[in-house]
């Protein structure tokens, strides 16, 4: 590569305007020749893209997907991982974990549009999103056992919280991918739709969220994140505090007035 050459882009990013409600930002991992595998450059690019989406006031919702017809993200990049020392592998794991926590803690809803294989790091990436809509042809799993590894980007922890102990042990110990229908039965994905309808259905959900009150959405995400990591009493107290804060917003007044006037509310995020 010459000194002036630039690295190949690893993401595609586009904004879809929602009339009167900001935009839906679509972020696609763009390494179809590697089935969108996550290497260090892709992890860093994703982290930066979600930082930018969080800071951009025009962005109401983020949709995360993979380029090409085969994969959402087929896993971490084995070619990069194979040469790592134990210390470097731990750093790689922490790098991925930080990026996925960035997604999980986004103040705006993030929808994983699972268009194909979501294996290993790909399933871990999908699970840190707030909602997951999958094509009926998608396959998900944690096949790291087949490489002599364990999940490294939060797979054991998020899968346990979504699907329970029995399913997590099955998927991690056996390493056998499952289809989208079974993933829905286990609570790993929210919806399964025909592949031809995946994009339209996902954007429809994203537009519904974009028209909702942004501060209330943020409060719900915060409450659910906190509640998943603390005891019931702490979670209830946090929810009450967030509930009270919504009463300081213009959106709360708009929503209640619109309800009483029997009209659709127009939320502004203030």
Q: Are 243 and 188 found together in one domain? A: no
pLDDT at 7: 57
Nearest alpha carbon to residue 13 among 69, 61, 63: 63
What is the gyration radius of the CA atoms in the chain, in angstroms? 19
Instruction: Indicate if 155 and 256 belong to the same structural domain.
Output: no
Is residue 52 assigned to a domain?
A: yes
| Strand ranges inside the chain, DSSP E | 11-17, 23-29, 59-66, 71-73, 110-114, 117-119, 131-135, 139-141, 178-179, 191-193
User: Which residue stretches of the chain have pLDDT < 50?
Assistant: 1-6
Residue 2 domain flag = no
Same domain, yes or no: 156 and 237: no
Residue 140 has a pLDDT of: 98
- Would you please indicate which residues are annotated as catalytic (active-site) residues? 124, 144
Q: What is the pTM of this model?
A: 0.93
Count of the separate structural domains present in the chain: 2
- Confidence (pLDDT) at 20: 85
Per-residue pLDDT at 30: 95
**Which range of residues forms the domain containing residue 221?**
214-261
């Amino acid at each position: 590569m010459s000194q002036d050459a630039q690295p190949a882009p690893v993401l595609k990013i586009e904004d879809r305007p929602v009339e009167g409600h900001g935009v839906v930002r679509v972020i696609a991992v763009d390494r179809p020749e590697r089935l969108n595998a996550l290497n260090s450059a892709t992890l860093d690019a994703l982290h930066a893209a979600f930082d930018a989406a969080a800071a951009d006031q025009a962005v109401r919702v983020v949709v995360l997907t993979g380029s090409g017809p085969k994969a959402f993200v087929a896993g971490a990049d084995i070619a990069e991982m194979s040469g790592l020392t134990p210390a470097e592998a731990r750093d790689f794991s922490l790098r991925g974990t930080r990026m996925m926590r960035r997604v999980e803690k986004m103040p705006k809803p993030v929808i994983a549009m699972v268009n194909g294989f979501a294996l290993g790091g790909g399933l871990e990436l999908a699970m840190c999103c707030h909602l997951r809509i999958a094509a009926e042809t998608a396959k998900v799993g944690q096949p790291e056992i087949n490489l002599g590894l364990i999940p490294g980007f939060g797979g054991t922890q998020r899968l346990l919280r979504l699907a329970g102990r029995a399913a997590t042990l099955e998927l991690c110990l056996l390493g056998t991918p499952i289809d989208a229908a079974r993933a829905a039965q286990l609570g790993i994905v929210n919806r399964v739709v025909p592949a031809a309808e995946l994009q339209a259905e996902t954007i429809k959900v994203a537009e519904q969220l974009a028209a909702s009150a942004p501060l209330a959405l943020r409060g719900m995400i915060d409450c659910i994140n906190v509640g998943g990591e603390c005891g019931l009493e702490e979670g209830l107290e946090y929810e009450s505090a967030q509930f009270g804060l919504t009463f300081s917003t213009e959106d709360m007044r708009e929503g209640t007035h619109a309800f009483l006037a029997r009209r659709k509310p127009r939320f502004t995020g203030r």
